Amino acid sequence: MNFKKIFYSKAQILFFLLCFFIPQLVQAQFTESEVKAVYLEKFALFIEWPAESVLADTAEPFVIGVIRDKAFSKVLIEIYQERKIKNRKVQIKYFSDLNNIQDCNIMFISDLNQDELALILSRIKGKPILTISDTEVFAEKGIHIDFFLESDKLKFEINQEALKNSGLQASYQLLQLARIVTSPGGNK
């Protein structure tokens, strides 16, 4: 029995539980945007990217793209100045023009209309880009992880089918904490 592996597994689970079960009192000390920004790192820890993805190159930064939410991109820049994700320096890219969207590891998509969302999802279809949103029903439209509020608590839902179609895989622990949703008629 490999005790180092067992210890690491238990330590990882403990870390996960501490990160995701922030008491309401502590959560009230931070803005909703700050809590979401920290969640991005926690999500990345429990998502597996394909071996051939850009994450295979350890010299490359971990890139978070933000579409049309300048305030959130500023929060991310502030939080990730000194922090790393998956042992990589974090680079934040802000996209105001949907025609100039570039590949990244995580793409945060907020408050777009249905046509704009469909355009973005078609451009990144099949690419290992973790899409995260805070717009109701976007997970049902194909976004991988979607934040929502329930009883004044920040929670999230996962479209597991959309994750799989992007070549990404969520850990069992992450899936247990999420509300699982599917795209109507399957994810195209």
The CATH number given to whatever domain includes residue 35 is 3.40.50
Q: What is the extent of the structural domain holding 61?
A: 22-181
Sequence-distant (6+) residues with CB within 8 A of 94 are 65, 66, 70, 73
86-134 residue pLDDT tens: 989 999 999 998 888 888 999 999 889 999 999 999 999 999 999 999 9
Q: What is the pLDDT, as a whole number, of residue 9?
A: 53
Q: Is residue 187 part of a domain?
A: no
Percentage of the chain exceeding pLDDT 70: 81
Q: Is residue 17 part of a domain?
A: no
In this prediction the pTM is: 0.82
Report which of 91, 104, 155, 161 is spatially closest to residue 131, judged by C-alpha positions.
104
Mean pLDDT, rounded, for 141-160: 94
15-46 residue pLDDT tens: 555 555 544 434 457 899 999 999 999 999 99
